[in-house]
Structure 1
Amino acid sequence: MQERSDLLSRLLENPLFHEHDIFSELLVAVLHLKEELHLRPSLAGLQAHFPFLYSLAVRTNPFDSSASIVIVD
């Protein structure tokens, strides 16, 4: 993602894409994620600092076909 950040920034600057709000919002979210991952030395504290977001991310994992938002004890 780091190698393509210039391309993503240039796409966001393009006025043609401003007409497509969903795509523009997606680009902003991707750039924000890139910055967040780049600035964090480790994601080890994610579960401790953001337990609800961590739990939701684990339960909605798109790579797990059995993932469910329902909490099962």
Structure 2
Amino acid sequence: MLRLLENPNLLEHEIFTDMLWAVFHLSDEIMARKNIEDMPKTDKDHLAIDIERAIRAVLVQWVSHMEHLKSDYPYLFSLAVRKNPFNSNAIISVK
């Protein structure tokens, strides 16, 4: 993922770059802690904000990607909808 941030083309895709930074920051915060189960409430609150930021950024990118697939690659969109990670009842089989 760090290689993605080194790509100068990503400077043109600020929202994607922001998503990467949010995910990297969350990962760094979690990895820096020795025991995430015994954290003080202040740390838990801080991580909750970081988690929300990362999830929102990932969701924005996912929706944008799905819109792109729907308009430009309907066959890939069809598969992506059938594999929808947000639908626990998703069925891969074409009906």
Runs of 4 or more consecutive aligned structure 1 residues displaced over 3 Å after TM superposition: 50-57
Q: Tell me the percent identity.
A: 35
TM-score by length of 1: 0.52
1:13 matched to 2:6: yes
Tell me if structure 1 keeps the 8 A contact 2:4–2:10: yes
Structure 1 stretches of 5 or more lacking a match? 1-7, 58-73
Structure-2 separation of matches of 1:16 and 1:40: 33
Name the structure with the higher helix share. Answer: 2
Q: TM-score under structure 2 normalisation?
A: 0.42
Match of 1:36 in 2: 29
The answer (yes or no) to whether the contact 2:29–2:47 under 8 Å persists in 1 is no
- Which structure is larger by alpha-carbon Rg, 1 or 2? 2
What secondary structure sits across from 1:32 in the alignment?
Answer: helix
**How far is 1:40 from its partner?**
0.7
Which structure 2 residue ranges, 5 or more long, are not aligned?
A: 52-95
Q: How many residues align?
A: 49
Higher relative contact order (CA 8 A, sep 6+): 2
CA distance in 2, matches of 1:18, 1:55: 28
**Deviation (angstroms), 1:34:** 1.2
